[in-house]
Structure 1
Amino acid sequence: MNAQPPLVIKADTLTAGYLPGVNILNGCTLEAYAGELIGIIGPNGAGKSTLLKALFGLVNIREGAVTLEGEDITTTSTNHLVRKGIGFVPQTNNVFPSLSIEENLQMGLFLKPREFAARAAEMWELFPMLADRRKQRAGSLSGGERQSVAMARALMMQPKVLLLDEPSAGLSPVRQDETFIRTRQINKTGVTIIMVEQNARRCLQICDRAYVLDQGRNSYEGPGRELANDPKVIELYLGTLAADVEQKSARRE
């Protein structure tokens, strides 16, 4: 029997929000073990992105705790969290548009500039579509290409945990598939990934385990493919989430 991988990051019964007296998370819990790809799905306003931000020190945690490899990081600043091994890719404004692709990667490794050449070479191999265009301004790239730059920049510091906030949002179906494939490739290098995703069905297909949030609480959790086939999850969430995605796509068109 294989031993369970070590626990990397844990959110324990978090209550958190942005405004005084208004909680977005209400006792939310999440665990991610070494090498896992964790999905977070749920309806709009469920607290999915807020949970990611709580893991990265971007929201006020009122109750509960976040630990990284057993160390309490609940009140640790974001710059120290980067040093400790957490990378974060927000949904929007995730590149420096006036900088080149290469300069964006340099920003991702500003804490360790001497390691840039070696780390950049690894990123060019992982994201070959960026290598030949490294001098091109990030602001001139397509949405999918920008997402690749943002992910590459976050990986420059060799994070233990990579947090992705809706990486497929706004992308065409083809680019979405490319993003999911790339996410799995990154995960297979040993990086633990926690991904909030609007495309719930696709997310459940590729993730090891998933959490379904509703009104800031854990609603369901389990292996991704099991949740994808769970009649209750299908009835209560997957149809609704598909409608949410279609509405977002219609607004963009």
Structure 2
Amino acid sequence: MSAAVQETRKPVVVVDDVHAGYLPGVNILNGCSLTAYDGELIGIIGPNGAGKSTLLKAIFGMVQVREGSISLEGQDITGLKANKLVSKGVGFIPQTNNVFPSLTIEENLQMGLYQNPKVYSERLEFVTGIFAELGKRLKQRAGSLSGGERQMVAMGRALMMDPKVLLLDEPSAGLSPVRQDEAFIRVSDINKAGVTCIMVEQNARRCLQICDRGYVLDLGRDAHTGSGRDLLDDPKVTELYLGTLGT
């Protein structure tokens, strides 16, 4: 996305100089900043321990923010609990334990609408339009699904609430190469449907190939940012990060 196009769009999520961590006195994020504009697909890459997943959890109120601020459409949401953020239109898909295995696909999708069950039929039509396979198997137990199929259920459940912003933590993790490609295609489809997406990925090259803009995190800071293509073509990013990250 060009600077001129960015100027015509509103920032949806703004992370400003955030310091955050899990243990008292120990920060994982050390002054991290990020801006996601309306309709963007943002990719976050970096080495293990860089703070990628912690950044998503800080946005979603799961990690204490000690300094800095986070805003959603200009409103301060720093420190808000997850249930409040869901009601404001923020969805989060964790890397693991992201479905209820004892429930059917349909029951998992219904869980995504616990705050507004009246629009179930409308949202189900939308979700099965993106994930046609789910519509054919609504009565199947989620625990019997493959990893890639579970990922579809998790994405579908998050979309049931009609989010403005979707946070995805390594959607391709643990999947076969074919299923990884499918996961990236699904993320692109969700974004094209009008949902602003912020995605953490260990498969750095594939992530940068599909995202509008990327952030490279290192030691809890945003070390590099630019369009996905620019980061892929940046010799410094390639030397320092892409050579050791997923291909």
Superposition TM-score, scaled by structure 1 size: 0.94
Partner of 2:203: 199
* Residues 1:159 and 2:163 aligned together: yes
Partner of 2:72: 68
CA–CA separation in structure 2 for the residues paired with 1:221 and 1:188: 22
CA–CA separation in structure 2 for the residues paired with 1:162 and 1:140: 26
Partner of 2:17: 13
- The Cα shift of 1:124 comes to 1.2
Partner of 2:55: 51
CA–CA separation in structure 1 for the residues paired with 2:8 and 2:154: 31
Task: Summarize the alignment of residues 22-101 of structure 1 with structure 2, pairs less than 5 Å apart.
Answer: 22-101=26-105
CA–CA separation in structure 1 for the residues paired with 2:161 and 2:80: 18
Partner of 2:225: 221
- The Cα shift of 1:77 comes to 1.2
CA–CA separation in structure 2 for the residues paired with 1:117 and 1:189: 18
Count of residues in correspondence between the two structures: 243
Among candidates 184, 187, 190, match of residue 191 of structure 2: 187
- AA in 2 matched with 1:56: F
- AA in 2 matched with 1:209: R
- The Cα shift of 1:92 comes to 0.1
Task: Summarize the alignment of residues 79-158 of structure 1 with structure 2, pairs less than 5 Å apart.
Answer: 79-158=83-162
Q: 1:191-225: per-residue Cα shift (whole Å, max 9, x none)?
A: 00000001000000000000000010111000001
- Root-mean-square deviation (CA, aligned residues, Å) is 1.0
Flag as ranges the 4+ runs of structure 1 deviating above 2 A: 1-4
- The Cα shift of 1:75 comes to 2.0
- The Cα shift of 1:76 comes to 1.3
Q: Name the SS of the counterpart of 2:244 in structure 1.
A: helix
Q: Name the SS of the counterpart of 1:241 in structure 2.
A: coil
Identity across matched positions, percent: 69
Partner of 1:178: 182
